[in-house]
Each structure stands twice: as C-alpha cells, then as structure tokens.
C-alpha cells in the first residue's frame, strides 16, 4: 500500500479540483493522500469531504513559501548570493487556525504584488502578455507562476511550462521576482499553531552545493522546530533520497515524500514516488503525540 503526501489542486496551481483528488488517488492505487496547496487552505474542506466518500485516508496540509535567508552560512546574508527556494510543508493542520489565516493573507498580498512585476519584465523582453489574461487562466483561484507560464505557452513564447520556468519564471529566470516575506521561523510556528507537523519540502530546491551546508541549514531549521524532511520527491535522484534519509536519521527528523502532483500542468503522475503507507502512519502517530503533549 502506498501514499502521496505532496499534491496540489486548483485552489493553488494544480489542474484538478480538490474534490477530485481523492478519487484520482484511489484510482492510482493509493491508500492515503495529502493536499498541500501553495500558501492556501481554501481547498481542504472540499478535499476532506471527497476523501470520506472515496474511503481514502486524507491529510489536510499546506506548502508555505519562506525566505531562504536562514540557509546562509555567511555572517551577512544580505551580501551573500541568493539561494534557491525554501518551502515548508504543513501536515494534519487545522485549516481555519487564526494565525495560519493571517500568514496566508500576507503571502497572498505578496503574490499580488509580484505577479504584475513579472509580467512587466516579460513585456520588456518583448512578450505581449497582460495580467488580465493570467487572471482568466487562474479562473478565480490564487494566481501563480504556472498560470503565467500557461499564457506564455498559449501565445507561443515557450513550448512547455518547464521551459517557461527554466528560462523566465524560475529562480534564475530573466523575469523572476522574489516574493519571500515570511521567515522560516514564522512558517514553522504558523504550522505548529495550527496543530500541524512542519516538514522541509524538496531539499534539492534549496540550491545548496555541499552536504555540510545542507546539514547546517537543516539543523538551523530543526532548532526552530522543524519536524521532518521530504526525502522522496520527483526532483530527487535515488542518491538524493538516500542522503536526505541519512540526514533525517542523524538529526532525528521524520521522513516523508510525494510526487508534487499538479495535474496536467506538469508531467508528474499521482503516486509516482511509491511512498509506503507506513510513512503516512508514522507521521500520523507523530501528529497525535504532538497534539496530546
């Protein structure tokens, strides 16, 4: 039996409705699934209701974007080169927790400011793209970079979402604008105050170039309360998975994993990482211990 503990819906930047994911997970042979939309819990109620009907174990979650400044070993992070992205997964959260709602509002505002800036940069690069077109693609949901990429595809500026990110919208892209406004400590605290477990998502995306830097960064996050590491992910090689699992063991952190499924927007299949159901069960036990402490 398997689970997938990293998925996205139309509530953020996926293409499947939150209420469709449990059914699709069941069809994929999964026994448990987590909904971890970017910076929003808007789809969780629909997701949990559908999971009951599908008779599949469901984890209410979120994926919070945080400022990677904490990852720097340099004494003056402002003078050091920028790193990759830092995302913190929250599992078994209370979706209506007040502090988590405040955090979501802050991140939503940051997105609202960044998206027009990125489109302006694309315009400067000669692309005829307008924000209204991106909003229409988002169809009432939170506007994100994949929606911008989809407009770029429709207009023939790129051939795929992957190309849109690698050339323009990703961390090293020509049109990229940072939106980080939430510290790692704030992200972890918001998840804990919502009775959740805080887990480092896809460590490869941190952009750290050595094992010692990674261990230093994760140790700092653990000191802030980090509960686990996503050791298995679609971006991870078997060697990555092994070294992240070793690091988790060394720092006494829980392990988790998932596909990072976004529906048809990416080529990642639901359940493709073959995460044993025991991973879900161990996280559930850790969550029960946290809320009963």
pLDDT at 78 over 90: no
Q: Copy the structure tokens of residue 220.
A: 């700092």
Which region among 32-36, 79-83, 126-130, 180-184 has the lowest average model confidence (pLDDT)?
79-83
Instruction: Note the pLDDT tens digit of each residue in 264-281.
Output: 877 889 999 999 999 999
Per-residue pLDDT, 50: 98
Q: Which of 70-74, 205-209, 245-249, 265-269 has the highest mean pLDDT?
A: 245-249
Per-residue pLDDT, 79: 38
Q: What percent of the chain has pLDDT over 70?
A: 95
Confidence of residue 72 (pLDDT cuts 50, 70, 90): low
Per-residue pLDDT, 95: 96
Dihedral sign of CA atoms 105, 109, 114, 119 in order:
positive
Q: What's the pTM?
A: 0.84
pLDDT at 80 over 50: no
What average pLDDT score do residues 205-212 get? Answer: 87
Confidence of residue 26 (pLDDT cuts 50, 70, 90): very high
Classify domain 2-100+184-292 by CATH number: 3.20.20.140
What average pLDDT score do residues 136-144 get? Answer: 80
Per-residue pLDDT, 100: 96
What average pLDDT score do residues 79-90 get? Answer: 74
Return contacts of 114-123, CB within 8 angstroms, 24+ apart.
Answer: 114/177, 114/178, 114/179, 115/143, 115/144, 115/148, 117/177, 118/145, 118/148, 118/169, 118/175, 118/176, 118/177, 119/148, 119/175, 121/174, 121/175, 121/177, 122/148, 122/152, 122/157, 122/168, 122/175
179 Cβ neighbours under 8 A, 6+ residues apart = 65, 107, 110, 111, 113, 114
CB 186 within 8 A of CB 103: yes
Classify domain 108-169 by CATH number: 1.10.150.650
Instruction: Note the pLDDT tens digit of each residue in 229-258.
Output: 999 999 999 999 999 999 999 999 999 999
Per-residue pLDDT, 58: 98
Other CB atoms within 10 Å distance of the CB of residue 222? 18
Confidence of residue 82 (pLDDT cuts 50, 70, 90): low
pLDDT at 135 over 80: yes
Write down the domain spans for the chain: 2-100+184-292, 108-169
Which region among 23-27, 79-83, 131-135 has the lowest average model confidence (pLDDT)?
79-83
pLDDT at 81 over 50: no
214's enclosing H/E stretch is helix 211-223
What are the backbone angles phi and psi of residue 289, rounded to the nearest 5°?
Answer: -65, -40
Dihedral sign of CA atoms 142, 140, 50, 13 in order:
negative
pLDDT at 196 over 60: yes
What average pLDDT score do residues 9-35 get? Answer: 96
């Amino acid at each position: 039996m398997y689970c997938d503990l990293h998925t996205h819906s139309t509530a953020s930047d996926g293409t499947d409705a939150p209420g469709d994911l449990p059914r699709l997970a069941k069809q994929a042979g999964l026994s448990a699934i987590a909904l971890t939309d970017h910076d929003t819990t808007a789809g969780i109620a629909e997701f949990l209701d559908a999971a009951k009907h599908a008779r599949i174990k469901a984890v209410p979650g979120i994926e919070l974007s945080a400022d990677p400044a904490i990852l720097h070993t340099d004494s003056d992070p402002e003078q050091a080169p920028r790193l990759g992205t830092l995302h913190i997964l929250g599992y078994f959260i209370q979706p209506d927790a007040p502090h988590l709602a405040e955090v979501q509002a802050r991140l939503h505002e940051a997105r609202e400011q960044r998206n027009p800036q990125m489109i302006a940069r694309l315009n400067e690069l000669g692309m005829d793209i307008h924000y209204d077109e991106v909003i229409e693609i988002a169809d009432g949901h939170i506007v994100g970079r994949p929606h911008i990429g989809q407009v770029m595809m429709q207009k023939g500026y790129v051939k795929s979402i992957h190309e849109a990110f690698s050339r323009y919208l990703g961390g090293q892209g020509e049109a990229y604008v940072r939106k980080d406004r939430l510290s790692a400590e704030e992200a972890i605290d918001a998840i804990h105050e919502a009775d959740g477990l805080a887990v480092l998502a896809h460590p490869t995306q941190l952009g750290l170039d050595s094992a010692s830097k990674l261990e230093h960064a994760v140790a700092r996050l653990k000191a802030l309360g980090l509960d686990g590491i996503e050791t298995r992910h679609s971006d991870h090689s078997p060697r990555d998975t092994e070294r992240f699992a070793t690091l988790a063991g060394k720092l006494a952190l829980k392990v988790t994993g998932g596909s990072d499924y976004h529906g048809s927007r990416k080529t990642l299949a639901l359940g493709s990482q073959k995460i044993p159901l025991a991973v879900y069960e161990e996280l559930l036990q850790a969550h029960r211990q946290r809320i009963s402490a």
